């Protein structure tokens, strides 16, 4: 600034120092890099010496540019009456105040300067007492009047050979002081010229500018009075400009600082906002009454509300009952008693979305005080997925336990199933061991039949087990052929007819002349299982095998009029090792594998199997197989 404005000779900071602090102050400045620093004043001969004792001092503490002004450092401005007068006026008025023209301590050219004081207060400065108490010091601008006026005249670029300029300061109690004089070289005091006067208040002082032209000026310039007035006005404006520049510069600095601060604030605000806006988790701030103050985009996504639908309303709109009603008292109770349920702790609660649906969340509430106002910050983690995962884990564990239990049950049952026919076989063997004590022939024939039946049963069980393990290992290969369904069905029914007769049950084949594409061995196995079950669970009823052609598929059903299956058991009837737990089932025997194997075989063919049953009325098992043309 000083480089740009040549007419400002120096800028200073003048520090207020109480006498009690004088030694410490001087020592501190010396330690700060100015060895030999002292608070000084001038003696009668104008030489600098340490300042005499006063209540307070106003030494020059900072000076720019330092080089040519060094001698003034430490000079106590109150030691000089002219400076002291301006300084006290500035202190008491709080306004910019210019000194009378003075000769600078450091200047040997004896050109007059003025000092303009701007007071700085460290506290309120409303009245005189406050201003005197809180004054910290002054910023001081030092102006060489000659330089200012010369500069201004030079900048006007006008020919001043025929114009004189005089600037006086008018002081109330002293005589007028001449601040500046410009006289053209050949100046006569001829009254024939024109004179122009202008007065100006400069920082509390009164200056009069007067410009006078020679008659020659008028003749030479052929100009009019108004031109002269303009010229004089220009000069005066230039002087004014130099002074105003000082003021404006201060304003510009303040404006720039305000702009920079505002910018920094805005930047930090937008940085904070960016963090909040991009936070993955919902963030909600609210005041001590629970009124929502901010609602970030993640919260909008989680709750289905737009921020402006929530901000300004009570946060309990995001909670279902009973929290909804309980919440109001909660924050105020916390503030009153410090009794916290969530604040600073965090816990699991249930939240309500806009559409009324509920979701579990982890809520952590932090408390912060901004400008004496309490703000609660709620951070929310939607734990729906975590809860689902926990549930899935629990389900899986339960399933595993269930499977395990069923496997043990199966092993028990299997051992029982295997042991029963073996007991029959082994029970007969001792009777046949001794040739001399053979039972009668008809008894032996009966035993042979029993042993055969038990052996068949064992074989059946073992085949089921082998099939099942093959299916589970994915090693069961099909050899599909085109089969006439009625033939396979007849074969199966013929095999089971004897058994059905034992139950007083009639078997009917209504499959007509339909063909299917299936592995004959496996289709037979499917039908044996279904019809076999139907016989087992039907006393004195009817069992009918039917078929019909659907689009691309043949649908085959086995219907009985037996005991039926309770509805609750239907969904699990095709599971492995699953038997409806009733005395009739136990009586009927079985492994719980038949339907599981049947279902797998149907599915291996690309079909599906379903069951429809009513207890006491009977059951229909329906499965599909591919049409031979497909
Ligand atoms: P199991 O070899 O023990 O019969 P299945 O898998 O073939 O095993 O059948 C499972 C259970 O389904 C049977 O124990 C029985 O309770 C029930 N069930 C199967 N078919 C019928 C049916 N036609 N009528 C009544 N209950 C049936």
85-94, 122-131, 328-337, 592-601: the lowest-pLDDT one: 328-337
pLDDT in tens, 1-38: 666 666 678 889 999 999 999 999 999 999 888 888 99
Q: Report the pLDDT averaged over residues 201-229.
A: 69
- Total residues belonging to the chain: 630
Residue nearest to atom 16 of ligand 1 (CA): 580
pLDDT in tens, 495-527: 999 999 999 999 999 988 889 999 999 999 999
Backbone angles phi and psi of 581, in degrees to 5 = -85, 90
Is the per-residue pLDDT at 468 higher than 90? no
- pTM for the model stands at 0.41
So what's the pLDDT on residue 121?
Answer: 92
* Cβ neighbour number for residue 297 with a 10 Å cutoff: 15
In the beta sheet, which residues pair with residue 202? 205
CA of 579 to the centre of ligand 1 (A): 6
**What distance in Å separates the CA atoms of residue 213 and residue 108, rounded to the nearest whole number?**
33
164-168, 250-254, 497-501, 557-561: the lowest-pLDDT one: 250-254
CA 282 to chain centroid, in Å, comes to 7
The overall average pLDDT reported for the chain is 82
Is the per-residue pLDDT at 329 higher than 80? no
So what's the pLDDT on residue 220?
Answer: 62
Q: Which long-range contacts (CB under 8 A, 24 or more apart) does 509-513 make?
A: 509/544, 509/545, 510/544, 510/545, 510/546, 510/547, 511/485, 511/486, 511/545, 511/546, 511/547, 511/556, 512/486, 512/547, 513/484, 513/486
Q: Report the pLDDT averaged over residues 120-142.
A: 90
* Top mutation candidate among 545, 581, 590 for ligand 1, by most atoms within 8 Å of CB: 590
Please state, for a pLDDT cut of 90, what percent of the chain lies above it.
Answer: 29
Query: Which tokens is 390 given?
Result: 């926990």
174-178, 485-489, 541-545, 607-611: the lowest-pLDDT one: 174-178
Is pLDDT larger for residue 109 or for residue 291?
A: 291
Q: Are 577 and 406 in contact (CB under 8 A)?
A: yes
CA of 410 to the centre of ligand 1 (A): 15
CA of 89 to the centre of ligand 1 (A): 115
So what's the pLDDT on residue 492?
Answer: 94
Alpha helices in 291-383 (DSSP H): 297-303, 307-310, 323-337
**% helix / strand / coil in the chain, to the nearest 5?**
45, 25, 30
**Is the minimum distance from the CB of 531 to ligand 1 under 6 angstroms?**
no
**Is the minimum distance from the CB of 618 to ligand 1 under 6 angstroms?**
no
Confidence of residue 190 (pLDDT cuts 50, 70, 90): low
pLDDT in tens, 83-95: 898 899 899 988 8
So what's the pLDDT on residue 621?
Answer: 97
Residue 7, exposed/middle/buried by CB under 10 A (0-12, 13-18, 19+)?
Answer: buried
* Top mutation candidate among 579, 581, 593 for ligand 1, by most atoms within 8 Å of CB: 579
Helix (H, G, I), strand (E, B) or coil at 296: coil
**Is the minimum distance from the CB of 537 to ligand 1 under 6 angstroms?**
yes
So what's the pLDDT on residue 546?
Answer: 94
Q: Report the pLDDT averaged over residues 413-422.
A: 81
**Is the minimum distance from the CB of 560 to ligand 1 under 6 angstroms?**
yes
Is the per-residue pLDDT at 588 higher than 60? no
Query: Which tokens is 103 given?
Result: 């000769």
Among the atoms of ligand 1, which is closest to the Cα of residue 563?
Answer: 25
**Which residues make Cβ contacts (< 8 Å) with residue 573, sequence separation at least 6?**
565, 580, 595, 611
**Is the minimum distance from the CB of 533 to ligand 1 under 6 angstroms?**
yes
Is the per-residue pLDDT at 291 higher than 70? yes
Q: Report the pLDDT averaged over residues 392-399.
A: 91
Among the atoms of ligand 1, which is closest to the Cα of residue 534?
Answer: 23
CA of 554 to the centre of ligand 1 (A): 24
So what's the pLDDT on residue 501?
Answer: 94
**Is the minimum distance from the CB of 417 to ligand 1 under 6 angstroms?**
no
CA of 500 to the centre of ligand 1 (A): 16
CA of 416 to the centre of ligand 1 (A): 18
Residue 25's H or E segment, with its range, is: helix 22-31
Residue nearest to atom 4 of ligand 1 (CA): 590
Confidence of residue 482 (pLDDT cuts 50, 70, 90): very high
Helix (H, G, I), strand (E, B) or coil at 174: coil
**Which residues make Cβ contacts (< 8 Å) with residue 263, sequence separation at least 6?**
none
The helix-helix angle for 485-502 and 520-536 (nearest 10°) equals 30
Q: Report the pLDDT averaged over residues 422-449.
A: 87
pLDDT in tens, 208-218: 888 877 766 66
Is the per-residue pLDDT at 68 higher than 90? no
Residue nearest to atom 13 of ligand 1 (CA): 579
Give, in order, the Cα–Cα distances in Å from 235 to each of 191, 305, 601.
Answer: 22, 69, 115
Is pLDDT larger for residue 333 or for residue 169?
A: 169
pLDDT in tens, 356-365: 898 888 877 7
Confidence of residue 201 (pLDDT cuts 50, 70, 90): confident
**Is the minimum distance from the CB of 37 to ligand 1 under 6 angstroms?**
no
**Is the minimum distance from the CB of 79 to ligand 1 under 6 angstroms?**
no
CA of 574 to the centre of ligand 1 (A): 9
**Is the minimum distance from the CB of 595 to ligand 1 under 6 angstroms?**
yes
């Amino acid at each position: 600034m000083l480089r740009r404005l040549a007419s400002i000779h120096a800028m200073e900071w003048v520090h207020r120092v109480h006498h009690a602090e004088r030694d410490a102050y001087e020592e501190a400045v010396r330690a700060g890099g100015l060895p030999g620093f002292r608070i000084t004043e001038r003696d009668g001969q104008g030489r600098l010496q340490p300042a005499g004792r006063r209540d307070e001092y106003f030494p020059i503490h900072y000076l720019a540019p330092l080089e040519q002004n060094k001698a003034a450092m430490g000079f106590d401005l109150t030691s000089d009456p002219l400076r002291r007068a301006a300084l006290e006026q500035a202190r008491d008025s709080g306004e910019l105040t210019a000194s009378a023209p003075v000769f600078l301590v450091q200047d040997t050219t004896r050109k007059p300067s003025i000092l303009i004081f701007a007071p700085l207060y460290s506290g309120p400065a409303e009245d005189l007492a406050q201003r005197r108490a809180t004054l910290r010091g002054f910023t001081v601008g030092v102006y060489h009047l000659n330089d200012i006026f010369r500069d201004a005249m030079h900048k006007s670029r006008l020919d001043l050979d025929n114009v004189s300029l005089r600037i006086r300061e008018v002081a109330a109690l002293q005589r007028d002081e001449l601040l500046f004089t410009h006289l053209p070289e050949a100046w006569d005091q001829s009254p024939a010229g024109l004179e122009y006067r202008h007065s100006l208040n400069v920082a509390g002082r009164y200056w009069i500018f007067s410009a006078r032209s020679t008659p020659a000026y008028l003749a030479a310039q052929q100009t009019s009075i108004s031109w002269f007035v303009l010229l004089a006005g220009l000069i005066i404006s230039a002087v004014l400009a130099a002074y105003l520049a000082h003021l404006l510069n201060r304003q510009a600095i303040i404006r720039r600082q305000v702009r920079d601060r505002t910018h920094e604030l805005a930047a930090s605000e937008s940085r904070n906002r960016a963090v909040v806006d991009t936070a993955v988790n919902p963030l909600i701030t609210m005041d001590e009454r629970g009124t929502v103050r901010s609602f970030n985009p993640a919260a909008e996504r989680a709750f289905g509300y737009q921020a402006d639908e929530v901000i300004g309303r009570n946060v309990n709109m995001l909670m279902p009952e009973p929290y909804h009603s309980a919440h109001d008292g909660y924050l105020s109770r916390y503030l009153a008693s410090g009794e916290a349920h969530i604040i600073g702790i965090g816990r699991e609660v249930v939240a309500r979305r806009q559409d009324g649906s509920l979701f579990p969340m982890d809520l952590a509430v932090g408390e912060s005080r901004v400008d004496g106002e309490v703000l609660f910050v709620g951070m929310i983690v939607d734990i729906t997925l975590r809860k689902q995962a926990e549930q899935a884990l629990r389900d899986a564990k339960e399933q595993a336990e269930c499977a395990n239990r069923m496997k043990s049950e199966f092993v028990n049952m299997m051992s029982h199933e295997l042991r029963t026919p073996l007991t029959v076989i082994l029970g007969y063997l001792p009777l046949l061991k001794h040739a001399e004590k053979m039972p009668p022939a008809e008894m032996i024939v009966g035993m042979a039949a029993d042993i055969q039946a038990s052996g068949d049963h064992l074989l059946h069980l073992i085949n089921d087990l082998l099939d099942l393990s093959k299916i589970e290992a994915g090693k069961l290969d099909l050899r599909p052929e085109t089969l006439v369904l009625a033939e396979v069905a007849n074969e199966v029914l013929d095999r089971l007819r004897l058994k059905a007769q034992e139950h007083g049950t009639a078997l009917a084949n209504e499959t007509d002349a339909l063909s299917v594409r299936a592995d004959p061995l496996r289709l037979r196995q499917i039908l044996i299982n279904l019809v076999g079950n139907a016989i087992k669970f039907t006393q004195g009823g009817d069992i009918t095998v039917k078929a019909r052609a659907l689009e691309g598929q043949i649908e085959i059903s086995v219907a009985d009029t037996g005991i039926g299956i309770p509805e609750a058991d239907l969904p699990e009837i095709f599971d492995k090792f699953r038997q409806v737990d009733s005395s009739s089932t136990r009586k009927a025997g079985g492994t719980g594998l038949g339907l599981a194997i049947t279902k797998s075989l149907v599915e291996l063919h690309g079909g599906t199997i379903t069951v429809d049953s009513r207890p006491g009325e009977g059951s229909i098992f329906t499965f599909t197989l591919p049409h031979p043309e497909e």
